[in-house]
Amino acid sequence: MNNKEEYILGIETSCDETAAAIIKNGKEIVANVVSSQIESHQRFGGVVPEIASRHHVEQITLVLEETMSQSGLTMDEISAVAVTEGPGLVGALLIGVNAAKAVAFAHSKPLIGVHHIAGHIYANQLVGDLKFPLLALVVSGGHTELVFMKEHGSFEVIGETRDDAVGEAYDKVARTLKLPYPGGPHIDRMAQEGQATIKLPRAWLEEESYDFSFSGLKSAVINTLHNASQKGEEIVPEDLAASFQESVIDVLVTKTLKAMKQYEVDQVLLAGGVAANKGLRAALQEAVDKTGKELIIPPLSLCTDNAAMIATAGSVLYRKGKRSGMNLNANPGLDIEKPFN
């Protein structure tokens, strides 16, 4: 069938959300369904891969049906099926990849494998047009990266974390403060209520490096708490959260500004689950505003894992002619820089 409109069906199952969505012409959300498993993982303090896979199996058909029904479209009208092929948990990814293959095969639709982080970056296209060259600050549970893009679909990682991802550091600090998983939003809320009065380190690394390191900061927070409890001193948890958050934001914003200048970008994008952080959103907005450049930040619902972002990135690849074969496999170590052709 020849439609004038392009509708991409996206599927995302890389971690603990089973999600499907349909995006019209690479910009407009027609349907967006996210089924979260967070409650099932909470009592373990983190995502348990086997439980994640089982939930995806249970949810994927329901989520796909709900997405189609929300859209009011028929499968005939779908242009292509895009799916997260990696990185992520291999068992979780496999459920999405196999569901996408089944749908694409049954309805003779093109299949397109998408990189999860490319998806996070392209969530911004649902807010405004991307202007190149641009710089994306990607902050999620598994990744902390500065990505330079000279054009659509081209990703150059100019800096990345050498140890913990930002989200991981947030979750570990939260666990030490006995907050439920995922801890990021709790620390964020507490940080707004506290004062950054506790001195914590900032890992700047080498002068010319855009890499990050958060494990030293995380250990410093944990040591501060342990030392205080041994001495019988009291630490105000809100102040510790505010001090931790200030240190994280200081490093992220400073390195982003430096890279913006060196790479002479026209636009900055914030992406990934930690992009939901109120303190980071405000600090980056203020800093980028001073440069006169444009910053795009996705709404909260598009910061954490969803399939709208996968369908949007899928649309870009679709227009560039990318097609995956029926031998598409889950790839937990997928490289974002690798060109697809």
Q: How does strand 156-160 pair with strand 144-149?
A: antiparallel
**Rule CB under 5 A: is residue 140 a binding residue for Zn ion?**
yes
Site residue total, Zn ion (CB under 5 A): 2
Residues of span 2-21 touching ligand KG4 by CB under 6 A: 15
Among the candidate windows 42-50, 53-61, 163-171, 329-337, which touches ligand KG4 by CB under 6 A? 163-171
- To ligand KG4, the closest distance from the beta carbon of 14 in angstroms equals 7
Query: Which position among 305, 313, 316, 324 is part of the footprint of Zn ion (CB under 5 A)?
Result: 305
Picked from ligand KG4, Zn ion, none, the partner binding residue 188 (CB below 5 to 8 A depending on kind) is ligand KG4
State the binding partner of 276 from Zn ion, ligand KG4, none, CB within 5 to 8 A by kind: ligand KG4
The answer to whether residue 211 forms part of the interface with Zn ion (CB under 5 A) is: no
Q: Rule CB under 6 A: is residue 164 a binding residue for ligand KG4?
A: no
Nearer to Zn ion, 68 or 165 (CB): 165
Q: Which of residues 243-282 bind ligand KG4 (CB under 6 A)?
A: 272-274, 276-277
Stretch that binds ligand KG4, among 5-13, 176-184, 289-297, 313-321 (CB under 6 A): 176-184
Q: Provide the Cα torsion 33, 9, 119, 18; round to 10°.
A: 40
Show contacts with ligand KG4 in window 300-339 (CB under 6 A): 304-305
By CB under 6 A, name the binding residues for ligand KG4: 15, 140-142, 167, 170-171, 182-185, 188, 272-274, 276-277, 304-305
By CB under 5 A, name the binding residues for Zn ion: 140, 305
